[in-house]
Amino acid sequence: MKIIRIILKDFKTVLSDKKALAIILLMPIVLMVILNFGMRGVFMIGDFGDMSRINIAVVKQYDKTEDIRRFDRTLSSGILSRELDKETVEELRKNSEDVDPEEIFLGDFLGSEEVAKIIEYRVEEEGKAVELLNSGAVSAVVLLPDNFIYDMKVNILMPFRNKVDIRVLTHPDRSINGQVVQSIVEAYSDAMSSVIIGKNVLMEAAMEHDLGDDGFKGMKEAMEEISRAMEGIRVDIDNVALEGRKNISSADYYAVAMMTMFILFAAGHGGRMLLEEKENMTYQRMIAAGTPGLGILTGKFFTVFLIALLQISIMITFSHYVLKVQWGGALPVMLISLASAFSVAGVGSALAAATFKAGNYKMANIFETGVIQTMALLGGSFFPVDILPSVFQKLSFLSLNGTALKAYLKIMMGYGMEDVIGYIGVLTATGALLMVLSALILGGKGEAADVKYNKIKAVKAQG
Amino acid sequence: MTLLKVDNLHKSFGKTKAVDGISFQVEKGEVFGLLGPNGAGKSTTISMISTLIPPAKGEILYEDRNISAEPKSIRQKLGIVPQDIALYPTLTGYENLGFWGSMYGLKGADLKIRMEEVAEIIGLNGRLKDKVQKYSGGMKRRLNIGAALLHKPELLIMDEPTVGIDPQSRNHILDTVLELNRQGMTIIYTSHYMEEVEYLCSRICIMDQGRIIASGTKDELVELIKGQTQISLKLDKPDKGVLEMLRSINGVAGVELVMDEIAVSGENVDMVLADIIARVTEYGKRISSIDVKKPNLEAVFLHLTGKALRD
């Protein structure tokens, strides 16, 4: 009963403190909006891979031998061969042998110096490639479709255009890398498309001027140039997220990022509460009234818990209705929110106990000005952690906001409860451990702070 | 009947001896005064009686029960009025009283009734809906007292409850203390204001530097300086020379400069008043006021310590 009264009193006190409310509630909402609009279009969010070199898998869905055989049959029996003399057909066949679309894509394009700086590819079977994508070993899978060789040869060597759909499979957790792969393949596609148009214009012009076979005879040089430059070919590329997963927008990301960072300020605020009570003599008065110190500390724990929950509720509601952020399943979001608030309450109570024992606000100040910012950086509240140096990435597990952020993002992407239960466990266990630690700190031996406090009082009085 | 017995109490903070072996008893139904200058050890003594800090040595018995052994049950019998305003300024007076009442286990209708009674006692019933930060210093002091009365304590411990307030509020508080005592409440009242202790307390302990230097009723204490009279002189720019000159006058036992007044004391020192005036005039100083005081606690303290209470 006493604890409930303490919580209600603390909660009223916080709500009547306009400065604290501005930091705890208003600031994150403002930053959420600013960052959302500021970062929109600059980068896609939600990526946790390695930006320095992106691993991809290339899947050959075609049968190369069959495609070549089919192309030869087309040359021999198609409408084209009836219009061309044998010498020209033979010339085209020889050209066909020299044109290898697989080599153009893998060797000339993905293996080029510029692309190889960004992408490292491996050729895999489709099943293995998807497995690698799911495990995070690769950031994207490029699917070279059925009939790829045949269609490409037709596009390169004949005056026709067959549709070639190169698909890029990405992982929602690595959507930045997926976007990079998509952009690079798109650039390839654009370059090829523009040249194939030129090739077709050349062929049509040759036919129009009745150059007939000479137009095809000159194609070998033209096609070698095309293959070297990776030009020609119209390619449609789909960027397809894994089934049932949603990519994260800047609004989604910063709604979570700001919220998980700013709930730490509730801990900072709570960290001052005990010492403030002591300085105002209300702590001593409560002790004199028979309230145990541990009870007062528990009150602070739950006050911070409620403040954090209030922050979370307001920010989720605001971002949902104003920024159109879809948070995902209500139950997992609620459980993550409770666990996050619980861990923050643990931090707040440990900080409160330590600050109380120290008898000054240095720890709370350091926490607010240094620790929160560091946690925010390491946890990905400013930028996704994957664009940080690898040393920082390794330290990101130390940030509670980072753990909460990952859990919320997973639910946003469409993962299930089983995928975030670990995060929820970590957050809850952290909160519980810190609460125990704070009880040990407060109950620990040593009267240093009391002595110091009384000395200050004595000096004040004498002065 | 002895309600509280303090026996050979010690407490140090680092190398500073805040309380150095004090002993006294508080009888049921009395207003007991602890008088002494700031830093005398009064608040530390109060903190130990309130079970807030443990004594380094000695014991405190409440109705013959050691408070260190069973603090929980004894805390319910004590009402503590701390020297500082131990309230929540951003909450209303009503919310403050409600909170402190609940800390003593009151709830529901009992709490509400008691809050109204207390508001009546402290004279704040019209202002309880206002936030405490809007209160005057005197109103805050009164609410600070009210928060200690909600659970009807047997022993009310008041630590300098009138510091920094206007005379009207001070009078209200002093009258409240007397009224509570008339209703049967035992009170320990600490102050460095001699007039308050003289006015309120039936028995007084005078403390200085952590020790009790005298104790008894006001009359018993004044008896210590029987015949000692004090003359207060206000001079234009008093200097060391004039103090030395006054000490050399026959019949003058002590001379102290307290603020801008010179306190001259001695057995029947008023008999040499004419000589004092003549010597000061001869010294070249102009006397702006002279006040002959009967023996009081201020004089007792001066006599015992050689310094004024407000030092």
DSSP calls for A92-123? HHHHHHH--HHHIIIIIIITSHHHHTTEEEEE
Pairwise CB contact (< 8 Å): A12 & B91 = yes
Who wins on pLDDT, A243 or B299? B299
Diameter over CA atoms, chain A: 117
Which range (A101-110, B156-165, B197-206) has the least confidence?
A101-110
Give the domain ranges of chain A.
2-46+248-462, 54-241
Who wins on pLDDT, A346 or A209? A346
Q: Is B39 on the interface with A (CB under 8 A)?
A: yes
Averaged over A355-384, what is the pLDDT? 86
Q: Is-contact A384 A303, C-beta < 8 A?
A: no
Can you give the C-alpha Rg of chain A in angstroms? 32
Residue of B102, B133, B190 to mutate, testing the A interface (most A Cβ within 10 Å of its Cβ): B102
Neighbours of A122 (CB within 10 A): 13
Per-chain mean pLDDT for chain A: 79
> What tokens were used for A447?
């009267």
Closest residue in B to A452 (Cα) is B13
Q: Which of A117, A115, A102 is nearest to A184 (CA)?
A: A115
Cα separation of A302 and A348, whole Å? 10
Integer angstrom CA distances of residue B154 from A177, A197, B74, B186 = 74, 102, 10, 6
Q: Is-contact A352 A300, C-beta < 8 A?
A: yes
Q: Which residues of A touch B (CB under 8 A)?
A: 1-2, 5, 9, 12-13, 16-17, 280-282, 284-291, 447, 450-451, 454-455, 457-458, 461-462
Please list, in sequence order, all residues whose beta carbon lies within 8 angstroms of the beta carbon of residue A333, skipping any fewer than 6 positions away.
A316, A327, A408, A411
| Nearest-by-Cβ selection for B103 from A2, A451, A455 | A2
Q: Mind telling me how many Å the CA of B96 is from chain A's nearest CA?
A: 9
Closest residue in B to A459 (Cα) is B39
* Dihedral sign computed on CA atoms, order A391, A392, A397, A399: positive
Q: What are A259-298's pLDDT values in tens digits?
A: 998 899 889 888 988 999 999 889 999 999 988 888 899 9
> What tokens were used for B40?
């005398």
Averaged over A387-403, what is the pLDDT? 78
Averaged over B203-226, what is the pLDDT? 87
Residue A66 region by backbone torsions, left for phi larger than 0, else alpha for psi between -120 and 50, else beta: alpha
pLDDT > 60? residue A145: yes
Averaged over A177-182, what is the pLDDT? 76
Q: Mind telling me how many Å the CA of A460 is from chain B's nearest CA?
A: 9
- Residue A80 has a pLDDT of 62
Q: How confident is the model at residue A116 (pLDDT cuts 50, 70, 90)?
A: confident
Please list, in sequence order, all residues whose beta carbon lies within 8 angstroms of the beta carbon of residue B207, skipping any fewer than 6 positions away.
B22, B34, B35, B36, B40, B41, B42, B45, B213
Q: Mind telling me how many Å the CA of A291 is from chain B's nearest CA?
A: 7
| Nearest-by-Cβ selection for A450 from B39, B50, B53 | B53
Pairwise CB contact (< 8 Å): A5 & B102 = yes
Cα separation of A299 and A303, whole Å? 6
For domain B227-294, is the CATH number 3.30.70.100? yes
Who wins on pLDDT, A396 or B251? B251
- Residue A456 has a pLDDT of 39
pLDDT > 60? residue A67: yes
Closest residue in A to B16 (Cα) is A455
Pairwise CB contact (< 8 Å): A461 & B50 = no
Cα separation of B63 and B234, whole Å? 49
The strands making up B2-13's β-sheet, listed across from edge to edge, are B16-27, B2-13, B57-62, B65-66
Q: Mind telling me how many Å the CA of A357 is from chain B's nearest CA?
A: 15
Q: Is B129 on the interface with A (CB under 8 A)?
A: no
A chain contacts of residue B43, beta-carbon cutoff 8 Å = 457, 461
CB-facing half-sphere around the CA of B272: CA atoms within 13 A: 21
pLDDT > 60? residue A452: no
Continuous segment of H or E residues that includes residue A271? helix A250-279
Q: Is-contact B42 B190, C-beta < 8 A?
A: yes
B chain contacts of residue A287, beta-carbon cutoff 8 Å = 51-52
Nearest 5°: phi and psi at A205?
-65, -40
| Nearest-by-Cβ selection for B13 from A284, A455, A461 | A455
Which range (A114-128, A302-316, B151-165, B182-196) has the least confidence?
A114-128
Closest residue in A to B145 (Cα) is A285
Residue B136 region by backbone torsions, left for phi larger than 0, else alpha for psi between -120 and 50, else beta: beta
Helix axes B93-103, A2-15, angle to 10 degrees: 160
- In total, the C-beta contacts within 8 angstroms joining chain A to chain B are 88
pLDDT > 90? residue A373: no
Residue range(s) occupied by CATH 3.30.70.100 in chain B: 227-294
Closest residue in B to A282 (Cα) is B86
Pairwise CB contact (< 8 Å): B75 & A289 = yes
Q: Determine the CATH number of domain B2-221.
A: 3.40.50.300
- Residue A422 has a pLDDT of 93
DSSP tag of B90: T
Q: Which of A441, A453, A361, A357 is nearest to B14 (CA)?
A: A453
